[in-house]
Amino acid sequence: MDSMSRIPFNKPAPMGNEYAYIHQTMELGHISGDGAFTKKCHALLETELGVSKVLLTSSCTHALEMAALLLDVQPGDEFIVPSFTFVSTANAFVLRSARPVFIDIRPDTLNLDEAQLEDLITTHTRAIVPVHYAGVGCEMDAIMDIAGRYRIPVVEDNAHGLFGKYRGRYLGTFGCLATQSFHETKNFTCGEGGALLINDRALIERAEIIREKGTNRSRFFRGQVDKYTWVDVGSSYLPSDMLAAVLFAQLEAREQIQAQRQRIWRCYYEHLQGWAEANGIRLPVVPAHCDQPYHMFYLLLPSLEQRQDLIAHLRAQDIMSVFHYLPLHLSDMGRHFGGQPGDCPVTEDVSDRLLRLPFYNGLTVDDQERVITAIQEFQVIQG
């Protein structure tokens, strides 16, 4: 083992055209936001997903912030968010002085437990923010039904789920708004990047304004107004066209990327099934009505101690594995909002036991075999 190289948890993989496209946008002379490649990315995503409007942003975090601005979230408003998610899902709304109401997750998909949703709704609820964990769809039929009855907007945090489907329909097309991430750790990347998907056409014009520093610059470029001016609140949420060039190369290679990730996911699943059963370890659950985009592969160990032991066992063989998320309701900020141990028992339990295995587009067959062999050597001592 000693001559072998480190297997990282994640490694970005250029698909081939990234450098040529960066060169092209430099030659075109428009490397700020909304250049040629940004428009290509918008068109590709709108066509593929069938979304009314897609706007690239500098991150998924920024797309979530735009969503909170678009929904006019105000101090005193509440929003319902899983405790088991990345900080930004909550912070974007907290930035508008809203209060997070944390919902627990289902033990199978680790998505928010729709059965608990209705009880958490109050007259102050301004948004429901489901996260499609690992790109496996939340129970959108139930969530959209409840949201519709109370007329509460749904914002899908689809950072993991681009091209995933729930009952044949693309994730990110259910809520009035949805957000994507193109961070280095996601299926498609330009380093740092994101997108806002707009399904409610009434929100499109204001989204363009908020993204362009609160000006009507987009309308000016379309010749709809003859001067552009300050018309609303806003910030600068556009990525450089050089980043869009990198992203476009990745999105164009989507079939190849998804095929690679599917092979990696299935290989883990097939080779670890027997070991998992023998050791009381749970593998990911993907319901039949969900098409996953193969974002990650995780294990649920029987205990925190065993999870830490497996991390150390893999690290000793230069294999990097990671865990996430620490329950948001028990973080310093979560406690500030009243979070207490026991509020979200499934989240608290899963957070201690979950382990993510190395998973990236360029993970070779040999390296994956090394990971699998190392895991199979690891026996959980029962009792």
Binding residues (CB under 6 A) for ligand PLP: these are 59-61, 85-86, 88-89, 131, 157, 159-160, 181, 183, 194
Q: In the bound complex, what is the minimum distance in angstroms from residue 150's beta carbon to ligand PLP?
A: 24
Backbone angles phi, psi at 285, to 5 degrees: -110, 125
The nearer residue to ligand PLP, 73 or 281, going by C-beta atoms, is 73
Q: In the bound complex, what is the minimum distance in angstroms from residue 37's beta carbon to ligand PLP?
A: 18
Question: In a 10 Å sphere around its CB, with 0-12 CB exposed, 13-18 middle and 19+ buried, how is residue 130 labelled?
Answer: buried
How far, in Å, CA of 45 to CA of 50, rounded? 8
Pairing of strands 194-198, 53-57: antiparallel
Q: In the bound complex, what is the minimum distance in angstroms from residue 333's beta carbon to ligand PLP?
A: 16
The tokens 């010749």 sit on which residue? 223
Cα first-last separation, the chain: 31
The nearer residue to ligand PLP, 89 or 306, going by C-beta atoms, is 89
For residues 212 and 202, the answer to whether their CB atoms sit within 8 Å is: no
DSSP annotation of 214 reads T
Residue 138 tokens read as: 């939340």
The nearer residue to ligand PLP, 35 or 194, going by C-beta atoms, is 194
The nearer residue to ligand PLP, 160 or 329, going by C-beta atoms, is 160
H or E segment to which residue 290 belongs = strand 290-291
Q: In the bound complex, what is the minimum distance in angstroms from residue 130's beta carbon to ligand PLP?
A: 10
Q: In the bound complex, what is the minimum distance in angstroms from residue 261's beta carbon to ligand PLP?
A: 16
Q: In the bound complex, what is the minimum distance in angstroms from residue 60's beta carbon to ligand PLP?
A: 3
For residues 195 and 102, the answer to whether their CB atoms sit within 8 Å is: no
